[in-house]
């Protein structure tokens, strides 16, 4: 399931949009402000962004410009009540991939998001790899050479984040957000269970990579030089 970030401060509209997206097989996390949206993006690699312009802490285009300056190319659909030509041009010049004025039909919004999700994302490899590992998200498998193992959705999102940040320490909260989203409640040991399964699967395909616990900081992918 694709996961996107919806930046919309109107609670009722956000709920309706999430419901429509979920029916189409697209999970959505919601942020109501520029600052909270930026914080969410730091925690997980979203597949796309739906961005309202009129937010409590400023124009949503400020967030989009910040993302593009940081080299983040996730597809972005801009929503706004402004329908003037210069507003649409302004949004596209800021880095938007598509533009949808309010009010809009839910089916059209979903169709436009689906179209964005079909586009390749330049800033992330479609099949991220590190060391002897390659993740194939479309197939839901983790590979080492000719060996492969199937991953559950949460496991896939965790590995995707770790592979996007090889050797970096990733916070526990970031891994939880990647696996289950920012709004879904999870049990305290859900991440520990998922990591345990991933470690077993790494051993099963004979990988030299290990998911290590960096005390007090989080988790990282490290190569086990003693592994054969």
pLDDT of residue 84: 66
pLDDT digits (tens, 9 = 90+) for 11-40: 999 999 999 999 999 999 999 999 999 988
- Whole-angstrom distance, CA of residue 105 vs CA of residue 88: 18
pLDDT digits (tens, 9 = 90+) for 140-163: 899 999 999 999 888 988 898 888
Percent of the chain surpassing pLDDT 90: 48
pLDDT digits (tens, 9 = 90+) for 72-121: 778 999 988 766 667 777 777 788 888 888 889 999 999 999 988 886 55
Domain ranges of the chain: 2-117, 129-223
pLDDT of residue 170: 87
Q: Fold identical between 2-117 and 129-223? A: no
pLDDT of residue 183: 56
Q: Which CATH superfamily is domain 2-117 in?
A: Response regulator (3.40.50.2300)
Confidence of residue 207 (pLDDT cuts 50, 70, 90): very high
Question: Taking phi first (over 0 means left), then psi (-120 to 50 degrees means alpha), and beta for anything else, what does residue 109 get?
Answer: alpha
Phi, psi values for residue 58, rounded to 5°? 135, -175
We find that the CATH architecture of domain 129-223 is Orthogonal Bundle (1.10)
- Whole-angstrom distance, CA of residue 158 vs CA of residue 194: 9
């Amino acid at each position: 399931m694709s996961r996107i970030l919806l930046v919309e401060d109107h609670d009722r509209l956000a709920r309706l949009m999430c419901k429509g997206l979920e029916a189409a097989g697209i999970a959505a996390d919601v942020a109501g402000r520029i600052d909270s949206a930026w914080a969410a993006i730091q925690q997980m690699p979203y597949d796309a962004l739906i961005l309202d312009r009129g937010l409590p802490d400023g124009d949503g285009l400020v967030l989009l410009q910040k993302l593009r300056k940081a080299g983040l190319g996730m597809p972005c659909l801009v929503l706004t009540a402004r329908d003037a030509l210069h507003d649409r041009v302004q949004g596209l010049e800021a880095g938007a991939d598509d533009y949808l004025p309010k009010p809009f039909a839910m089916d059209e919004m979903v169709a436009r998001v689906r179209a964005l999700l079909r586009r390749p994302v330049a800033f992330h490899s479609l099949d991220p790899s590190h060391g002897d590992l390659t993740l194939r998200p479309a197939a839901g498998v983790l590979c080492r050479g000719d060996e492969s193992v199937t991953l559950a959705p949460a496991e896939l999102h965790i590995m995707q984040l770790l592979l996007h940040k090889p050797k970096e320490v990733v916070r526990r909260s970031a891994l939880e957000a990647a696996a289950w989203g920012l709004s879904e409640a999870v049990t305290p040991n859900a991440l520990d269970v998922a990591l345990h399964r991933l470690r077993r699967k790494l051993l099963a395909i004979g990988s030299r990579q290990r998911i290590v616990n960096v005390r007090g900081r989080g988790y990282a992918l490290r190569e086990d030089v003693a592994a054969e």
